[in-house]
Structure 1
Amino acid sequence: MKYLPKWLCLFLTMFVACSCRNVLDVRSQSPDDVASGDRDVRLVGSMVVPFGMFPIRVEAVGLVTGLRGTGSDPAPSAYRAALLDEMQTRRIPNPNAVLASRDTALVVIRGVLRPGIQKGDRFDLEVRIPERSETTSLRGGYLLESRLKEMALLDNQFHEGHLLALAEGPVMVDPSADGKHDRVLLGRGRVLGGGLAVKSRPLGLVLKPGQQNVRNSSRVANAVNRRFHTFLNGVKVGVAKAKTDEYIELRVHPKYKDNIDRYVHVVGAVALEESAPERKQRTERLKHQLLEPTLGANAALELEAIGTEGAETLLTALESADLEARFYAAEALAYIGRREAAKPLGEAARREPAFRVFALTALSAMDDFAAYEQLRELLDVPSAETRYGAFRALWAMNPEDALVLGERLGGQFSYHVLGTNGPPMIHVTRNRRPEIVLFGQHQRFLSPLTLNAGNRVMVTGCGPDEIAVSKYAVGEADQQRIVSTEVDEVIRAVVELGGTYPDVVQALQEAKAAGALPSRFEVDALPQAGRAYDRVADGRPDKRDTESGQRRPQNPVPEMFSVQGGHETSHTRDTGDGSEETASEDPTSAERPRPLGGFFARMMGRESGQGTARE
């Protein structure tokens, strides 16, 4: 960004002030703050507003192949014209003949680039057939590489922006949908991790009107760089760079890659200039605010922005009898890099669902064996979302670690078999990346069973100890593999015979529904933000803040466990005995909503809402 016009800066300032006015303002407005004597210490957030904190939607018109007669020749339209142009650009011979095949289908692709996404990061895609398309199903299809851009349809023509990402991968369609009753669902699908960002999205800080000059731009950049730095090609560099007299570019610090909102808050809490006595006085004020229910979260963020000197004050709060003070202090210490944060964060993840999403993300940001050990222990607990949350946190900490490395099964999806000690569980995902995790080795199916793994692979029992995995395809010789009843062997056989990720998950879903899979089966058992907790002070519930005595964490929400594509995790949970419970969003509702399509309703996002913890 070489230049930002004055009118754009004014618009950004007004827009951000209206929609996220507290993003950078983490200072208390309490009477204690006025009397503290440190109000002359200006923070970065008093001079700037953040830039680039909103998602960008990217789109393309693409082609799905391998549909085995369920595709169609698209009618003349702007979509068809755009796809033909793309095919000609790629020098595909006879593009009209390709489109006329019943094994292909034109689809509309959509994805979202999150704030701070980096080049090489992956994200989920949604694909849909256009209205009035004659395509009957996308099941079994594969999305060919497409180029994702910002797009707008004007005067029946597409207008495109710059290339921002690429799209490609197998399309996952709800296997529970049938052609007679669920045609709409058969025309929709997801490509997990199918989007690949080709450009990084830098964050930025825009100086407010009246503050826009070279001196202030340099002051802000220097203040931020005193607190944060990273390495570029092995060279230590600051994260902030003053680009103009009104715009400062902000690199994402690696510790905050999964918590961009917190990063921006902490940057806003950095002092522009501060003497040693002023720092000491401000730290003393923040020490007292840590113990205040309404001020503790912001006080911890401000101490985190101070850095090493603020850590000593945060450490004293770990001994507090106040639950919130301990948690907020531990979370801030994790991002400062203090190993003392590991144990209280592990306890928070284990015992308090409202703090779990924040605690696991903070542990993943620590480069310390103490944090690794806490996450490793959480893999054995009974709670489904705690176990899987710990797994994802370990993967985010170091995807090359032997414990979570796993393998790329069939070149299609990540597959992990963990030697854990907790109850046997199988977890599959519907967002970020196709992934199957077996918590516990030697899990088995029960006979008799007959399962479908897609359109061409069938799994049948051959007695109490053997299972036949067979492939039947027109024009091909029949193939069969005889394996034991171990889930691991069956999954490998399905993939060996050409089964895809959706095929494997379909077989697991059918096995669970038929009672042939005794292990717990979970889809996206993710920790969630927004949960309430009971605040306890001196052994008694504290009802000063709400009538019920419940509160919600006030800290910024991390992105590590957010569901891409706009879907929320379901509030249907497996009770462990084969039945399901569905939590109503309104606790006073007399009618509890019915699960839609069981497990794959969760898989495809057909259930939504903010749910209870899957323990």
Structure 2
Amino acid sequence: MSRAPTLFVCRAVLCFGVTLSVGCASWLNRGNKDDSEHFQKLLKVPEPPELIREAAVPHGLQEIRVDGVAVVNQLPGTGGPALPSTFRDRLLEEMKRNEVAEPNEFLERDDNALVQVRGLIPPGARRGDSIDLQILTPPKTEATNLHGGWLLDTRLRHQQILNNSIRSSDVLAIGTGPVLTRGDFDGTEDTTLHVSGRVLSGGLVQSDRKLGLVIRPKYQHVKIAKAIADAINNRFYFFDGTTRRGIAKAVEDDFVEIDVHPRYRQHEERLMAVVRAITVAPESSSTQAKLVDLGEKLRVPSTAADAALQLEAIGEGAIPTLVEATKLSNPELRFYAAETLAYLDRAEAIEPLVEGIRLEPAFRAPALSAMLGLKQAKAVSALQGLLDESSLETRYGAMTVLRDRKDARDSLGGENLKGQFRLYQIKSSGPPAVVASLTRKPEIVLMGEVSPLNLQSFFIGPAGLVVRRVAAHDAETPVNQTQGGTRLRISRFRPGRPDAFAEVEANLAGLIRGITEVGGGYGDAVATLRMAKEQGVLVDQLAFDPLPKSQRTYLRDHDSSEDDEELEDDVDEKTL
């Protein structure tokens, strides 16, 4: 009797176990089948695309805006207390974090002003790169003029609104430097122009920005990502010391990281466009057929720009096709071929690019940009030839490219004036002009034979500057007779500071040098030039940043195609 219950229980458990195993078998099998199909789907490699752009989109090509709150000091009583606000609270928090003594008292002084600072970090920026900063004065301040001020160290962060609150990134840039107010170069009566401005190259980027490709869901697979990276590295590589290294790395099945190739520094958007035009499949016998096809497309305005990018993606093998296209009669087609050849470092690009710069405004900015990194000695002489053009934007654009080329900047000379800015005197047969930079580098450029100053007696400039013409017998320094027997005496009177005096040559270059001799900065020089022009003291043209504009529209003639039968009627213009 004692074994019966036990036997019953055992049989019941056995029956339950069998039922469970049988009843659940179909459910388990169905689950395994679904998982297996999903697993097989993951293992299946998608068909690779013909071009990378079919499978991936660029990442990291947007500028990153960074903001901060800071103090502009060294103002001659034109600052003012920072009134209670969120800006003041943010600045006080920053000052306490950096152990600034008595921050509240510091913000009450009239030689200081609280300001907002903003900058844009470009794609592909590296640690140590410089960026321009914009100065925005917050509404709750009593500052009246930032002229002559110095932006104290400020930490700039990227800010976003998440869940109804402002979230800030780590410090992405640090800014400091002299302020150039909008009022210095804009002569309108708007008082707000005196409390806003910029600091040229005042921001220092603190971390590298990576570029990349995000792979579309249809193509997300580790083998596709690797195939894309391999295709890119077969085309773009450089030597890191003694090691050859490609620019692409597949870090995920849906992301390929891209380093900027040295040839494409400051041309990151073009690099990504070329990368996305690379063929994923390895080079084969079909490459020649593709070259023929692209060569034909390069002769049709509506397809020429994209064909040139694809030929650039092919690399050296496309050079004969591109060289042949530079001989076409259509200037637009010649330009696309020459631009691509420039990025392939070919001398054949120089002549058609220079022609485009001279004759077509829409080609100037991209052509000058392409010539910046063209490693050909002939490019320097070609750019120097452009300094004699009648177009001021052509001359100044060529000058800035020469200035930024390591193999040409010494040919321009240029004086470093007390560490404040540079003065260039450029020989040119074009119309004389005076140029002041408002971006990147503080510089004043005298183009051609600048006329003598039309100064009869004296001229009152900004910030206590007074310029007076003095006769030879009144000058403290001997006067060369070729200078017309006169010199300029520059005086500067500022409250609370010693008076300053300087005597200089009686010409525009002397005036600009004299401003720095009496303690003036770039803002003083720019404002002096503007006021001298307004009062007729400066006779020649005065221009601020007359650089060629990008994204200009090139208007095509109806018969501009090499093959009229292939020209699409609905395409009549191309934006460069």
Change (3 A) 1:242 1:407: farther
Which of these residues, 471, 491, 494, is aligned with residue 512 of structure 2?
A: 491
Cα distance, 1:78 vs. partner?
2.0
Which residue does the alignment assign to 1:373?
381
Higher helix share: 2
Given that residues 330 and 561 in structure 2 are in contact (C-alpha distance below 8 angstroms), is that contact kept between their aligned partners in structure 1? no
Q: Which residue of 1 aligns with 2:68?
A: 60
Query: Does 1:417 find its partner at 2:425?
Result: yes
Cα deviations across residues 277-318 of structure 1 (Å, max 9, x unaligned)?
Answer: 210000000111111110011111111110000111111111
Q: Aligned to 1:454, what secondary structure does the other structure show?
A: coil
Give the distance between the partners of 1:48 and 1:539, measured in 2 at CA: 32
1:294 is paired with a residue of what secondary structure? helix
Q: 1:500 corresponds to which residue?
A: 521
Give the Cα–Cα distance (whole angstroms) in 2 for the partners of residues 278 and 371 of structure 1.
35
TM normalised by structure 2 equals 0.83
Change (3 A) 1:95 1:252: same
- For 2:370 and 2:545, locate their aligned partners in 1 and report how far apart those are by CA, in whole Å: 20
* Maintained 8 Å contact 1:425/1:522: yes
Q: Could you say which structure has the larger radius of gyration?
A: 2
Q: 2:48, 2:219 within 8 Å by CA — same for their partners in 1?
A: no
**Residues 267, 179 of structure 1: alpha-carbon distance in 2 compared, 3 angstrom cutoff:** closer
In the other structure, the counterpart of 2:317 is: 309
Match of 2:297 among 264, 289, 294: 289
Give 1:135 shift: 1.8
SS for the counterpart of 1:532 is strand
Cα distance per residue 1:422-453 (max 9 Å; x no partner)? 33221111122222112236753222264444
Work out the CA distance in 2 between the residues paired with 1:540 and 1:511: 52
Q: Secondary structure at the match of 1:552?
A: strand
Q: Which residue of 1 aligns with 2:555?
A: 533
2:169 alignment partner in structure 1: 161
**Aligned mate of 1:215, from 223, 245, 248:** 223
- Where structure 2 has 5 or more consecutive residues not aligned to the other structure, the ranges are 1-46, 472-483
Cα distance between partner residues in 1 of 2:143 and 2:131: 26
- How far 1:161 sits from its partner (Å)? 0.7
Q: Cα distance, 1:267 vs. partner?
A: 0.4
Which residue identity does 2:491 align to in structure 1?
S
Aligned to 1:551: 573
Q: What's the CA shift for 1:156?
A: 11
The change in CA–CA distance for 1:156 and 1:102 in structure 2 (over 3 A counts) is: farther
1:450, 1:459 within 8 Å by CA — same for their partners in 2? yes
Letter in 1 for 2:505: S
- 1:109 has 2:124 as partner: no
The equivalences for 1:386-465 within 5 A come to 386-398=394-406, 401-404=409-412, 406-440=414-448, 444-448=452-456, 450-462=458-470, 465=486
Deviates more, 1:416-425 or 1:245-254: 416-425
- The one-letter amino acid of 1:531's match is T
Quote the Cα distance in structure 2 between the aligned partners of 1:140 and 1:299. 51
Partner of 2:80: 72
Structure 1: gaps (5+ residues): 1-38, 555-615
SS of structure 1 residue aligned to 2:125: coil
Cα separation, partners in 2 of 1:248 and 1:408, compared to 1, 3 Å: farther
- State the 1:201 CA deviation: 1.1
Cα drift, residue 153 of structure 1: 7.0
Measure, in 2, the Cα distance between the counterparts of 1:154 and 1:248.
28
Question: Please, which moves more after superposition, 308-317 or 247-256?
Answer: 247-256
User: Take 1:114 and 1:158, find their aligned partners in 2: how far apart are those partners?
Assistant: 23
Q: Deviations over 1:370-391 (max 9, x none)?
A: 2111111101111100001111
Distance of aligned partners of 1:275 and 1:226 in 2 relative to their CA distance in 1, 3 Å threshold: closer
**Equivalent residue of 1:168, what SS?**
strand
CA distance in 1 between partners of 2:350 and 2:188 (Å): 53
Distance in structure 2 (CA, Å) of the matches to 1:177 and 1:392:
20
- Where do residues 251-400 of structure 1 align in structure 2 (5 Å cutoff)? 251-398=259-406
| TM-aligned CA distance change 1:390 to 1:254, over 3 Å | same
Question: C-alpha distance in 2, partners of 1:222/1:201?
Answer: 22
Q: More deviation in 524-533 or 344-353?
A: 524-533
What is the correspondence of 1:113-124 to structure 2 with a 5 Å cutoff? Answer: 113-124=121-132
Secondary structure at 1:295 match in 2 = helix
Q: Is the 8 A contact 1:532 1:552 kept in 2?
A: yes
Q: Is the 8 A contact 2:231 2:282 kept in 1?
A: no
CA contact (8 A) 1:453 1:504 kept: no
Partner Cα distance (2:70, 2:499) in 1: 32
Aligned to 1:582: none
Q: Give the distance between the partners of 1:41 and 1:449, measured in 2 at CA.
A: 75
User: CA contact under 8 A between 2:555 and 2:572: conserved in structure 1?
Assistant: yes
Q: Is the 8 A contact 1:84 1:95 kept in 2?
A: yes
Deviation at 1:489? Answer: 1.5
Residues 438, 232 of structure 1: alpha-carbon distance in 2 compared, 3 angstrom cutoff: farther
How much does 1:364 deviate? 1.3
Contact (CA 8 Å) 2:69, 2:115: kept in 1 or not?
yes
Aligned residues with identical type, % of pairs: 35
Q: Are 1:206 and 2:214 counterparts?
A: yes
Indicate the SS of the match to 2:271: helix
Distance 1:333 1:375 in 2: 17
Alignment of 1:508-523 (within 5 A): 508-523=529-544
CA distance in 2, matches of 1:553, 1:78: 43
SS in 2 for 1:248: strand
Checking the alignment, whether the CA contact within 8 Å between 1:354 and 1:552 is kept in structure 2 is no
In the alignment, the residues of structure 2 paired with residue 110 and residue 451 of structure 1 have an alpha-carbon distance, to the nearest angstrom, of 36
Residue 500 of structure 2 aligns with an amino acid whose one-letter code is: Q
Q: Counterpart of 2:98?
A: 90
The alpha carbon displacement at 1:154 in A equals 8.2
Quote the residue 1:51 is aligned against. Answer: 59
| Structure 1 runs of 4+ with >4 Å offset | 152-158, 176-181, 538-547
Q: Using the alignment, how far apart are the partners of 1:445 and 1:155 within structure 2?
A: 61
C-alpha distance in structure 2 between counterparts of 1:348 and 1:517, whole Å = 33
Q: Cα deviations across residues 113-152 of structure 1 (Å, max 9, x unaligned)?
A: 1212222222211112212322222222111010111125
Match of 1:574 in 2: none
Aligned length: 515
How well do the aligned residues superpose, as a CA RMSD in angstroms?
2.8
SS of 1:376's partner is helix
Q: Is 389-398 or 281-290 further displaced after alignment? A: 389-398
Q: Contact 2:436 / 2:543 at 8 angstroms: preserved in 1?
A: yes
Query: Aligned partners of 2:48 and 2:160: how far apart in 1?
Result: 48
One of 150, 156, 160 as aligned partner of 2:158: 150
**Aligned CA distance change for structure 1 residues 89 and 179 (closer, same or farther; 3 Å):** farther
Find the aligned partners of 1:443 and 1:67 in 2 and give their Cα distance: 34
Pair 400,366 (structure 1): closer, same or farther in 2 beyond 3 Å: closer
Q: In structure 2, what is the Cα distance between the partners aligned to 1:293 and 1:95? A: 63
Mapped contact 2:226–2:250 kept (Cα < 8 A)? yes
3-state DSSP of counterpart to 1:249: strand
Residue range with higher mean Cα deviation, 533-542 or 183-192: 533-542
CA offset digits 1:491-514 (Å, max 9, x no partner): 111012111111101111122222
Question: Secondary structure in 1 aligned to 2:173?
Answer: strand
State the alpha-carbon separation in 1 of the partners of residues 502 and 574 from structure 2. 52
SS for the counterpart of 2:301 is coil
CA 1:41–1:322: 2 relative to 1, 3 Å:
farther
Number of the residue aligned with 1:183: 191
1:469 — aligned with what?
490
Q: Which residue type is aligned with residue 488 of structure 1? A: A
**Shift, 1:97, TM fit:** 1.2
